[in-house]
Structure 1
């Protein structure tokens, strides 16, 4: 979903004011140097996809609590890797969808995951381009029960 591309673009092309990395696989950037302000990058993760090694790499790009925002890493609880895409909506409630993607989250539908991801994405971009934070904060408040803030390492 473009996380590594987003990170490299922010680092190499100063025309970009900010970026959102949706459920990033961090392996391609595990040794990259950080040549951009971390506050310009938002990670929107899906809780069920992120593993320990991936999160360890992501920590290098996370905003420390002393900076502008408390964190630039948000995770949707109980969401799978494909949650911000329409593939789950297309395949939900069908045998092939359940076989390939597992049982759907009955408390928060695939459509709701797409909406949450989109609203968080839109709010963050509006913040970076227009210096307007309220849209992002409104999305965070709206989905507060479904969000995890910061990097939470899996329990061993």
Structure 2
């Protein structure tokens, strides 16, 4: 067992959490995701490497995404991220005593399926099945597909070229990402209906065990940064997504014509330091679309507080490198997840209990404020 100081926070809910991976056929048109779920522990084993670095190729990809030295930074990445462990049971049996609501998760730019384990584990511990999609649109720092001959095809992060405008590339990617999230939802529909699904990965988990155990009437989507924009678009496109939670959303990829027409309930949970006027202005357009929409800011937090990064690079070094703000990362994550559960409780009609955090959704409480401290307009015009 890992030293506790190298462990990601345990889930706060009553359920023990299991974890497995799936990659379906179809190459990049298939689905690749990590699945977190309430489990039983009989005959299961802890799987320590399930946190930030699934394989060594992800280390090189993350270094390339950060545009850092391939000589020094792989050692630092492995020291910071590779040592972290997660309190989950790998390939554990699903606790099939009830039908669980479903949450699809979309990672941010340069992320991958395991970089938000803390959020996903906590949601699963509270009774959700969570599908953390690994996007293969060249926005992950590294990912791969497996062809018909069993050969791996690695997909590198796509940097902007010199002189290239950002919106056309990111808008194309967000469309792909939204479709990947919708395909993930449809895959869970197959699980629920008992349809056989081939997994190209060598994992010993029977996805047929999900049959009858997913509540497809209670489905939501959540994403961080680029994943926040992805969640908005996917919720707009797919009727079965009843609401979306946008963690520090990056609005650049979304076409301005989309903003006024998104009618699904949205919850923006922002960090204090990430946003700028144009980004907030786009959020306010979405916020005005219906009364159920909400926006709060977590005070004392930075952009990476909603990922696993502040637990891997902590203390003063974490603040220096921008993986966290001055607020304690565990407290920031607790507020983030409690507010999310309260919003999901309302819009998915969950069992009583999560409404105890309703005030957080309204921006009331310590370390939280309603709206954003960033003004969306300067001198009467956007900037």
TM range (shorter): 0.7 to 0.9
- Unaligned 5+ runs, structure 1: none
- 1:47 deviates by 1.2
CA deviation map 1:57-76 (0-9, x unaligned): 11110137xx645x511111
Q: Which residue of 1 aligns with 2:232?
A: 7
TM-score, with normalisation over the residues of structure 1?
Answer: 0.80
- Distance in 2 (CA, whole Å) between partners of 1:68 and 1:32 is 20
Q: Pick from 243, 256, 271: which aligns with 1:31? A: 256
Name the structure with the higher helix share. 1
The secondary structure found in structure 1 opposite 2:305 is coil
User: Residue 114 in 1 paired to residue 340 in 2?
Assistant: no
TM-score, with normalisation over the residues of structure 2?
Answer: 0.35
Q: Do the aligned partners of residues 82 and 61 (structure 1) sit closer, same or farther apart at CA in structure 2, a change above 3 Å counting?
A: same
- Unaligned 5+ runs, structure 2: 1-223, 379-383
Q: Do the aligned partners of residues 19 and 146 (structure 1) sit closer, same or farther apart at CA in structure 2, a change above 3 Å counting?
A: same
Name the structure with the higher strand share. 2
Tell me the matched-pair count. Answer: 149
Q: Do the aligned partners of residues 136 and 30 (structure 1) sit closer, same or farther apart at CA in structure 2, a change above 3 Å counting?
A: farther
- Distance in 2 (CA, whole Å) between partners of 1:74 and 1:103 is 18
- 1:37 deviates by 2.2
- 1:83 deviates by 1.2
Q: Pick from 145, 148, 151: which aligns with 2:369? A: 148
Give 1:1-150 correspondences, 5 Å limit: 1=224, 2-33=227-258, 34-37=260-263, 40-63=265-288, 68-69=291-292, 72-93=294-315, 95=317, 97-101=318-322, 104-105=325-326, 108-130=327-349, 134-140=355-361, 144-150=365-371
- Distance in 2 (CA, whole Å) between partners of 1:142 and 1:58 is 16
- Distance in 2 (CA, whole Å) between partners of 1:141 and 1:153 is 18
User: 2:303–2:324: 8 Å Cα contact kept in structure 1?
Assistant: no
User: 1:3–1:24: 8 Å Cα contact kept in structure 2?
Assistant: yes
More divergent stretch after superposition (125-134 vs 79-88) = 125-134
CA deviation map 1:27-71 (0-9, x unaligned): 011414243325x1100000111111110111110137xx645x5
User: 1:44–1:73: 8 Å Cα contact kept in structure 2?
Assistant: yes
Aligned-CA RMSD value: 2.8
User: 2:274–2:303: 8 Å Cα contact kept in structure 1?
Assistant: yes
More divergent stretch after superposition (84-93 vs 113-122) = 84-93
- Distance in 2 (CA, whole Å) between partners of 1:25 and 1:50 is 8
- Distance in 2 (CA, whole Å) between partners of 1:53 and 1:9 is 22
Q: Do the aligned partners of residues 94 and 79 (structure 1) sit closer, same or farther apart at CA in structure 2, a change above 3 Å counting?
A: closer
